[in-house]
Amino acid sequence: MLKQRKLSSKPLPTISKREFARRREQLMEQMETNSIAILPSASAVIRNRDAEFKYRQDSDFHYLTGFNEPDSVLVLIPGRHHGQCLFFCRERDPERELWDGYRQGPEGLCNNFGADDAFPISDIDDILPGLLEGRDRVYYSMGKRLEFDKRIMGWVNVLRAKARSGAHPPGEFSDLDHIVHDMRLYKSAAELRIMQQAASISADAHTRAMKFCRPGMMEYELEAEYLHEFASRGAQAAAYNSIVGAGKNACILHYVDNSSIIQDGDLVLIDAGCELNYYAADITRTFPANGLFSREQQALYEVVLASQQAALETITPGGHWNQSHDATVSVITQGLLDLGILQGELTELIEAEAYRPFYMHRAGHWLGMDVHDVGDYKVHDEWRVLESGMVMTVEPGIYIAADNQSVAAKWRGIGIRIEDDVAVTATGHQVLTEEVIKTVDDIHQLMRPMAAKRGSIDPAQVDFISDDGQYSAQENSSAKTPSVRNSKPSGQAKPVLKASAKKKSIAKKKTTAKKKISTKKKLTAKKKAAVKRKTAVKKKVLVKKKTVAKKSAVKKKAAVKKTAVVKKKTAVKKKAAAKSRPKSPVKKRGKVKNKR
């Protein structure tokens, strides 16, 4: 019987209309008096020919409005008596809505999105210049949308041309991004709930991929498992192009081809996260394709994991942004030293950035509505101090390219990154993505049983994986033909059915008994074969030892004989040399004395 996934009855978390209104009020409180803010929506983007990409609203525009239609403009005028929050949008058009989908129209914006007033986008050239007139300052993000930039400057220039007639054009422009992006850096409780849900969905997707992975798969097959999990759990899309890099592809930081075969012995690096209600998750895990790390892979993996743990310990209110990166650099450099990949003194290597060929990126980034979210990393040229509500990633890594000739061959082609999403709290931090495993033991425990159970199961025929790792294959509805029990038999047929059921049960018992006997026989046969193998191996070892001992004895005897022969030859040569020497005359002392 298939074990179906338990569907959650809880609705997915969202941002309330009240919070969107509060954000607009907060922005207007930071604006100067007698000013105006203008923020256009994102435009639809052509993918190719007349096909468009799926529309995704500009993050700043959504943050302030919750409104997700193109061709829209938000205008905020603090203190305006006839309404502070104004919109321009597309009008209702039944014919276009038949093709492109429902539109809110100006009336819908006032009723459903908190607009004080709304106008058709076609009237913006007639209305917006009048709203700009008399304002001292315009808050607008110049340079992001060139076409709209031209329209803004055109309206201002029209007012400047009328200055002699008494028109009052705005005198200053201020960057709207600076205020909005600082607001987005601090997440509310509602935002954190969405981000936690996005993190949980993405964590389950990573666990799913680990259970499915096997050598021989294509990288894009694993990517498909992520997309399945995202969509089936209510996420609107992947937050970014998923990275599924096996083997040497893991050393490419932004590898998105995902088109190679996953080989036995490869490490698989997957960087993937979903987007839920405009908020992103960002997780990276690295695991062995066959479920078992090699010695070199595990050694480098443990260094990266230790560096991430050291970085997490630095994340607390009052600490600064760069502390986590400094912690990863210190641990990774020391680890590369210990493994012999780097040589020298730790402090000198860090100062010289000797780790850069293997760890070339920062340890993290802000996370929120965008994967690489907005917000300054430095304030007045000093690293930003961490505060409650900020969300960041921690993602150290080691990458040794396959063609790196400066290291031993055993290290080449190994790429490892471990990434988690972390929220700064009032007392420390919370890892939003802690549900997905990352220790070596946990990965082995999860993946090795899966490799044994998996066999030749095709992931395409698997509906999902239960929490206990059991695969649930898709049932064939055509095979479910109405059985005899479901039909309405006559009274005469009932005894026949009972008898047949008894026969079936007896037959089943017999077959199970036979199976038990056969399995016992097989086990005993296997045990005997194993014992025979062990004894044979022992005999071979003893024979080898004896032959080695005999050979060594023979060699010793031969050496002794050689030394004896050499000694004899040298003695003979000495005697011959002594005989061949001429005798020197001997002086007689007595005769010499007489002569004196």
CATH number for the domain harbouring residue 78: 3.40.350.10
Please give the average per-residue pLDDT across 78-95, as a whole number.
Answer: 97
* Confidence grade of residue 49 (pLDDT, cut at 50, 70, 90): very high
Answer whether residue 339 is part of any domain: yes
Residue among 240, 278, 399, 471 flagged as catalytic: 399
Please tell me the number of Cα atoms within 13 Å of 343 on its side-chain side: 3
pTM above 0.85, yes or no: no
Say yes or no to pLDDT of 129 above 50. yes
- Mean confidence (pLDDT) of the chain: 87
- How far is the C-alpha of 289 from the C-alpha of 265, rounded, in Å? 6
Phi, psi of 547 (to 5 degrees): -60, -40
Residue among 204, 221, 282, 421 flagged as catalytic: 282
Contact in structure between 184 and 58 (CB atoms under 8 Å): no
Q: In 3-state terms, what secondary structure has residue 51?
A: strand
For tokens 């630095």, the residue is: 314
> Catalytic annotation on 348?
no
Answer whether residue 83 is part of any domain: yes
What domain count does the chain have?
2
pLDDT at 582: 57
Please give the average per-residue pLDDT across 238-260, as a whole number.
Answer: 98
- How far is the C-alpha of 249 from the C-alpha of 247, rounded, in Å? 5
- DSSP secondary-structure letter at 427? S
* Confidence grade of residue 353 (pLDDT, cut at 50, 70, 90): very high
Helix, strand, coil shares of the chain as percentages rounded to 5? 45, 15, 40
- 94 and 218 fall within a common domain: no
198-212, 214-228, 352-366, 560-574: range with lowest mean pLDDT: 560-574
Say yes or no to pLDDT of 522 above 90. no
Across 40-69, b (16+ Cβ under 10 Å) vs e yields bbbeeeeeeeeeeeeeebbbbbbbbbbbbb
Contact in structure between 326 and 391 (CB atoms under 8 Å): no
Contact in structure between 134 and 168 (CB atoms under 8 Å): yes
> Catalytic annotation on 365?
yes
- How far is the C-alpha of 30 from the C-alpha of 117, rounded, in Å? 22
- 196 and 314 fall within a common domain: yes
pLDDT at 24: 98
Of 184, 214, 248, the last residue of a domain is 184
pLDDT at 398: 98
> Catalytic annotation on 282?
yes
pLDDT at 302: 98
Answer whether residue 471 is part of any domain: no
- 144 and 203 fall within a common domain: no
> Catalytic annotation on 444?
no
Strand pairing of 462-465 and 471-473? antiparallel
Residue among 361, 362, 412, 444 flagged as catalytic: 361
Residue among 29, 47, 49, 50 flagged as catalytic: 50
3-state secondary structure 53-93: CCCCCCHHHHHHHCCCCCCCEEEECCCCCCCCEEEEECCCC
- 203 and 177 fall within a common domain: no
For tokens 């492109």, the residue is: 100
Say yes or no to pLDDT of 18 above 50. yes
Of residues 527 and 420, the one with the higher pLDDT is 420
Contact in structure between 72 and 62 (CB atoms under 8 Å): no
Strand pairing of 267-272 and 172-174? unpaired
Say yes or no to pLDDT of 100 above 50. yes
Residue 11 φ/ψ region, left for φ over 0, alpha for ψ in the -120 to 50 degree band, beta for the rest: beta
Q: What percent of the chain has pLDDT over 90?
A: 72
Say yes or no to pLDDT of 92 above 60. yes
Kindly give, in sequence order, each residue whose CB lies less than 8 Å from that of residue 515, ignoring residues fewer than 6 positions away: none
Residue among 225, 395, 420, 421 flagged as catalytic: 395
**Which helix (H) or strand (E) is 52 found in, with range?**
strand 51-52
Say yes or no to pLDDT of 507 above 70. no
Answer whether residue 440 is part of any domain: yes
Residue among 225, 271, 373, 420 flagged as catalytic: 271
Contact in structure between 416 and 304 (CB atoms under 8 Å): yes
- DSSP secondary-structure letter at 320? B
For the residues of 262-309, what is the DSSP string, one character each? --TT-EEEEEE-EEETTEE--EEEEEETTS---HHHHHHHHHHHHHHH
Across 295-318, b (16+ Cβ under 10 Å) vs e yields eebebbbebbbbbbbbbbebbbbe
pLDDT at 354: 98
> Catalytic annotation on 361?
yes
- 131 and 160 fall within a common domain: yes
- How far is the C-alpha of 15 from the C-alpha of 20, rounded, in Å? 7
Q: E-assigned strands of 434-504? A: 462-465, 471-473
8-12, 103-107, 186-190: range with lowest mean pLDDT: 8-12
- 126 and 207 fall within a common domain: no
> Catalytic annotation on 419?
yes
Query: pLDDT tens-digit profile of 408-422?
Result: 999 999 999 999 999
- 294 and 426 fall within a common domain: yes
Q: In 3-state terms, what secondary structure has residue 188?
A: coil
- 96 and 236 fall within a common domain: no
Of 140, 160, 184, the last residue of a domain is 184
**Which helix (H) or strand (E) is 556 found in, with range?**
helix 493-580
3-state secondary structure 82-127: CCCEEEEECCCCHHHHHHHCCCCHHHHHHHHCCCCEEEEHHHHHHH
User: Which residues form the domain of 445?
Assistant: 189-462
- 136 and 207 fall within a common domain: no
Identify the CATH number of the domain in which residue 287 sits. 3.90.230.10
Say yes or no to pLDDT of 494 above 50. no
Say yes or no to pLDDT of 263 above 70. yes
Nearest-CA neighbor of 335 among 350, 324, 313? Answer: 350
**CA triplet 263, 268, 271: central angle to 5 degrees?**
150
Say yes or no to pLDDT of 284 above 60. yes
Answer whether residue 575 is part of any domain: no
Query: pLDDT tens-digit profile of 189-238?
Result: 999 999 999 999 999 999 999 999 999 999 999 999 999 999 999 999 99
- 207 and 96 fall within a common domain: no
Residue among 419, 420, 429, 454 flagged as catalytic: 419
Residue 429 identity? H
Residue 300 identity? L
Q: In 3-state terms, what secondary structure has residue 403?
A: coil
User: What's the token pair of residue 95?
Assistant: 């014919």
Q: What percent of the chain has pLDDT over 70?
A: 83
Of residues 472 and 372, the one with the higher pLDDT is 372
Say yes or no to pLDDT of 464 above 50. no
Residue among 90, 365, 429, 454 flagged as catalytic: 365
Answer whether residue 470 is part of any domain: no
* Confidence grade of residue 456 (pLDDT, cut at 50, 70, 90): very low
pLDDT at 125: 97
* Confidence grade of residue 580 (pLDDT, cut at 50, 70, 90): low
Phi, psi of 163 (to 5 degrees): -60, -35
* Confidence grade of residue 457 (pLDDT, cut at 50, 70, 90): very low
> Catalytic annotation on 55?
no
> Catalytic annotation on 92?
no
Residue among 81, 82, 254, 380 flagged as catalytic: 254
Residue among 372, 376, 387, 442 flagged as catalytic: 372
Of 128, 149, 184, the last residue of a domain is 184
User: What's the token pair of residue 574?
Assistant: 């000495």
- 208 and 229 fall within a common domain: yes
Please give the average per-residue pLDDT across 110-121, as a whole number.
Answer: 98
